[in-house]
Structure 1
Amino acid sequence: MTDRTGPRMLITEPSDLDPASPAPITIAARLLDRLAAVRAEVLDALATGEPIYGVTTGMGALSKHRLSEDEQRAHQRNLLLGRAVGGPPWLPADEARAVLIGRLRTFLTGDAGVSVELIQQLVAVINSGRTPEIPAGGAGSAGEIIPLAHAFGSLDLELGPKEGIALLAGIPGATGRAALHGSRTRRLADHLTAVAAGAIAVIGANRDPYHPRAARADDVLAAEHTRIRDLAGPEPAPRSLQAPVSFRVAGHVVAHVRRSLADLDAAVDRAFDGVTDSPAYLDGRFVGTAGFHGVDLVAHCDHLTAALAHAAEVSTARLHRLLDPAVTGLPAQLAHDPGPQAGLVAVHKRAVATSHALRRLTLPSATSTAETSNGQEDVQSFSWEAVGVLAEAIRLTREVTACELLAVHQAFALSKRPVPPGLQELLGAVANVVPPIGADRPFGADLTRLLDSIL
C-alpha cells in the first residue's frame, strides 16, 4: 500500500491526467455527467440488436459467431479471463500505475462508452496505491490485450455491455508508460548535460564548439550550448586547441536526445487524443478503428532509444579520455597513486559493457509481421515491447552517466580546480554520498549510491 498524500489531480478534461504524476485523482462532476450521457446513448444503440464486434459477436477469428443474450452477459468478463496468459517479470509499480492512468484517460474521451461506475472503480484502484501484476513482456498481438487482461482482470465490478472489450482496446498501456518514460528522460537529459559540462570544465576544454553562433538555425542546439557554457563556467586557458571529439560534440548529442524526446511527447499526445477504442462510439454509431496499431508511438520510442544509446557511447568515450593524463594533466586513470593503484579503469570497463548492452537494444521494434488469431491479426507494431526497450535504455544510460559522473568528481578532487558555480550543487551532492577516493575500493558501491541518490 503506497501512501497517496498531497494535492489531488482534479480532472476536468482527459488531457489533465498525467501518467507521470503520483497525485491522487478526482474526476470533475461535469465530466462524469457527460460520460454518463454517452453511456446512456451506447446502451440504447446496443439495444437495437445490430451486430457489434466483441459485444454481440466473438473476437478476432471468431467475430462471425453471434452470441446469445446469455453468452453476451458472460462474454465481457471472459474476454479478460481468457487472455491473461502472461507471467513474471511484472512491471514495476509506477509503470503499472501509468498503464491504469493511460486506460482511464482514453475512457474520459467517451469513445468507449463505458459506465461511470467502471470509471470510478479505475480511479479508486489508482488512488489506492495497489497496482495489479502486469507482465512486462509477451504482448504478442495487434494491440496489448494480454497485459491489459492482467491489468483489469481483478476489477471488483460486474462488467456491463461493451466494457470488457473496451478495457482491452487500443494501446493505453504503452502510451501511459511512454509518457512516464518521457518524464524520466527529461531528468536524464539534464544530467547528461551537467555531467558533460563537468568533464569539459575539469579538463579545461576549448569552448569554441559551444559558441552561440555555432548553433545557427538550430534553436534546440543553441539552448544546449548555452546550458553547457553556463554550467562549465568561464573558459580557462585551454589545454589544447581542440579537445577530443567526445567533448566537442556534447551539445549536439544531448540536443538530439531532447529533440527525440519532444518527438515522443508529440506521439504520446496524438495517441491519447486520437481514437483508440474499437469499436468506438462516434457520431452516434459504432465504428471499427485501427488505433491499436501504434506504429507512430513505436517509431519514436525506437528513435529515443537510439539517441540514448549514442549519448551513452559518447559518455563512455569521454570517460575514457578522463583517464588519460595527456587529456587531463592529472594522474593516470585518476588514481591517487598510479601503479600501485588502478584508479577508475574498471569503472570505464563497466561503462563499456553497459554501452554495448544499449547498442543491442537499437533494433527497430516494428519490423515483424507475425500472424496471430488465425490470420485475423496479420501484422503487429509491438508498441508494448518498444516502450519496454525504452525503459531499459533509460536505465542503462543512467548507469553510464553515473560512471562518468564519478570520474568527473574524482578529476576535480585530484586537480584541486574550483568547481564552477553551475556545477556546485551537483558535485556537492556527489561528495555527500561518495567518500573521498584515496585508494582503490569497490567502486560499484559508489555508483549504486549515485544512482539511488542523485541520478
Structure 2
Amino acid sequence: MLIDRAEDLTVSSAGPLELSPTLLTFLSSTRERLLAALSAGAPVYGVNTGMGAMSKRRLDDAEQRVHQRNLLLGRAVGGAPWLPYAEARAVVLARLRTFLTGDAGVSAELCQQLVALLNSGYIPAIPLEGAGSAGEIIPLAHAFGPLVGIGTVLDADGNLYPATESSFELGPKEGIALLAGVPGATGRVWLQVEPLERLMGRMGEVAAGALAVVGASRDPYDRRVGRGDELLAAEQARILQLAGSENSPGALQAPVSFRVAGQVVSHVRRTVVRLAEAVDRGVDGVTDSPAFLDGDFLGTAGFHGIDLAAHCDHVVAALTHAAEVSTARIHRLLDPAVTGLPAQLARVPGPQAGLVSVHKRAVATTHALRRLSLPAAIGAMETSNGQEDVQTFSWEAAGNLTTATRLAREVVAAELLVVHQAFALSERDIPAGLGDLHAAVRAVVPPIDEDRPLGVDLQAILDHVI
C-alpha cells in the first residue's frame, strides 16, 4: 500500500506499506529546516537539555550524541504481560501517522524504519500495564527501543525474541519524538472503533429479537417517540423494522428492559461517535512536544490525553449500562410469566436446567464491566519530582475500553443464544429482518434439546456471529 499523505494511513492499513517519494521529500524538507533551527543553539527541551525535572540541565555535544538513544534505554522499565500483536501494531501505526504530519520534524529515514518494522511480521513487546506518567513514556520506550537494538519483539504467535542489533542511529530530537504524545492510547482505541460499530449493530438486532419473541408492545418504538433526537429516532426505527410492528393482544407494557433498547443502543452509538472523533483529533492534531511548527519549537501538552481518556470512560460506562439491560432481558426471557414458554427455556423444566446458567455468566460478566466503569482519568499522582504533577491515565483508559468491548460482546452473545432458544420453543416466527442472524446461529449452534456445556455454543457465537 502506497502512502502519499498522512491521512492515507489508517489502523486497518495492510502491508506491505510504502511511503511515496512525495511524502519522503516533504519529511526531508521539514527535517532540514528543523536541523537548521537547532543549529542556532537555543535550548530545546529533550534535545539539548535533560528531561522532566532535569530540563534545566544543558547537554554538551558529546551528551547530545547519545541522549536520544538513552531516552529509550533508561525508560523501558515495563514487563510482561505484553500487548496483543494487533494492539502493538496499532501503536506503531499511530506513531507513524503523527510523524507524517511533519510536526515532530523527524527524518524520512526514521519513518522508513517504522514502515520496515510494520512490514517485518514482528512487533515490539510493549507492556500492557504500568504507564504511570504524564504521557506514555514507559510503553513507548519499549515500543521503539527495537529500532536501535533495545528490548524485545514478538511474532504473530506471541513468541518473544531479543531485538536485533541495528546500525540505525537516532538523530537530534528523534528519541524524544518517539516518546511524545499519546500514540499508544490512540492506536489502541483506534483499533476498537470498528469492532464497537459491529457490536452496536448486533445489540439492536438481538434486542429486536427479544421484543419479537415475547410479543412486547412496540409503542416505545413508534417513530413519533424519537422527536428531537435523530440518532434515537433512527435506532428506534431500525429496531422496529427488525422486530416487526405487530403488537400482541393485551401487551400494554413489557418490562423496562424491553422498552428502553432504543435509548440504550443509541446512547452507545453516541459515545462511540464521539470516541472516533477523539481518535481523529489524536492522529491529526498537534501531539508532539516540543513540536516544530512554522520554524518554531513549541512545548505543548499533547501528552495530556484527557480527550481520549474521557471518551473511553464514556464508552465503557455506556457498554456497562447496555450489558445491565441485556442481562435483565435475559432474566425475563427465562421467566414463563413473561414469555409463556417453559421455565428457563428448558425442553423439560426440572430435570433440565435450560439456559439459567447462561444468565449467571452474563451476570458475572456485567459485574466485571461495572468494575471497569470507574473513570480512569481520576486519580492523579505526582511523578518526576513534581514536574509531572497531573496525569490522565489514557493508556489505562484504552485498556479498559478494550476489555469492556470484549466483555460486552460476551453479554450480547449470551442474550442472542437465549433469544434463539426462545424462538425454538415458541410458535412465533423469526422476523424476516432477523432471519440471516438466526441462520448464522443455527449454523454453529445445534438445537438445545437437553443440557450440555453451553459455553461451547457461546464461544461459537462469539467466533462466528457477533
TM range (shorter): over 0.9
Which of 14, 25, 33 is residue 33 of structure 1 equivalent to?
25
1:195 matched to 2:206? The reply is: yes
User: How much identity, in percent, do the aligned residues show?
Assistant: 67
In the alignment, which residue of structure 2 is the partner of 1:268?
Answer: 279
**Displacement of 1:234:** 4.1
**Displacement of 1:417:** 2.4
Which of 225, 238, 250 is residue 236 of structure 2 equivalent to?
225
After the TM superposition, which residues 26-425 of structure 1 pair with which residues of structure 2 at under 5 Å, given as runs?
26-155=18-147, 156=166, 157-238=168-249, 240-425=251-436
**Displacement of 1:320:** 0.4
**Displacement of 1:205:** 1.2
**Displacement of 1:136:** 1.1
1:196-248 CA-to-partner distances (Å, cap 9, x unmatched) read 11111111111111111110010100110121112113425346211111011
**Displacement of 1:21:** 4.1
3-state SS of paired residue (1:355): helix
CA distance in 2, matches of 1:73, 1:326: 76
Residues 205 and 239 in structure 1, CA contact (< 8 A), matched pair in contact too: no
CA distance in 2, matches of 1:179, 1:280: 23
CA distance in 1, matches of 2:142, 2:250: 59
Give the number of equivalent residue pairs: 447
Runs of 4+ aligned residues of structure 1 deviating over 3 Å after TM superposition are 20-24
What stretches of structure 2 of length at least 5 have no aligned partner?
148-165
CA distance in 2, matches of 1:304, 1:143: 21
1:378-406 CA-to-partner distances (Å, cap 9, x unmatched) read 11011001111111111110111111011
3-state SS of paired residue (1:154): helix
**Displacement of 1:44:** 1.1
**Displacement of 1:69:** 1.2
1:137-190 CA-to-partner distances (Å, cap 9, x unmatched) read 110000001111111000142111111000000001111111111121111111
Distance 1:370 1:232, change over 3 A: same
Residues 20 and 183 in structure 1, CA contact (< 8 A), matched pair in contact too: no
Moved more, 153-162 or 112-121: 153-162
1:312-340 CA-to-partner distances (Å, cap 9, x unmatched) read 00000000011011111111000010011
Moved more, 303-312 or 236-245: 236-245
Distance 1:235 1:24, change over 3 A: farther
In the alignment, which residue of structure 1 is the partner of 2:3?
Answer: 11
CA distance in 2, matches of 1:239, 1:34: 70
3-state SS of paired residue (1:439): coil
Residues 20 and 179 in structure 1, CA contact (< 8 A), matched pair in contact too: no
Residues 218 and 247 in structure 2, CA contact (< 8 A), matched pair in contact too: no
Residues 53 and 279 in structure 1, CA contact (< 8 A), matched pair in contact too: yes
3-state SS of paired residue (1:317): helix
Residues 203 and 239 in structure 1, CA contact (< 8 A), matched pair in contact too: no
1:260-317 CA-to-partner distances (Å, cap 9, x unmatched) read 0111111111222211111110111211111100111111110010000000000000
3-state SS of paired residue (1:286): strand
Residues 369 and 407 in structure 2, CA contact (< 8 A), matched pair in contact too: yes
CA distance in 1, matches of 2:445, 2:323: 22
In the alignment, which residue of structure 1 is the partner of 2:156?
Answer: none
CA distance in 2, matches of 1:138, 1:393: 19
CA distance in 2, matches of 1:253, 1:410: 24
CA distance in 1, matches of 2:13, 2:443: 28
What stretches of structure 1 of length at least 5 have no aligned partner?
1-7
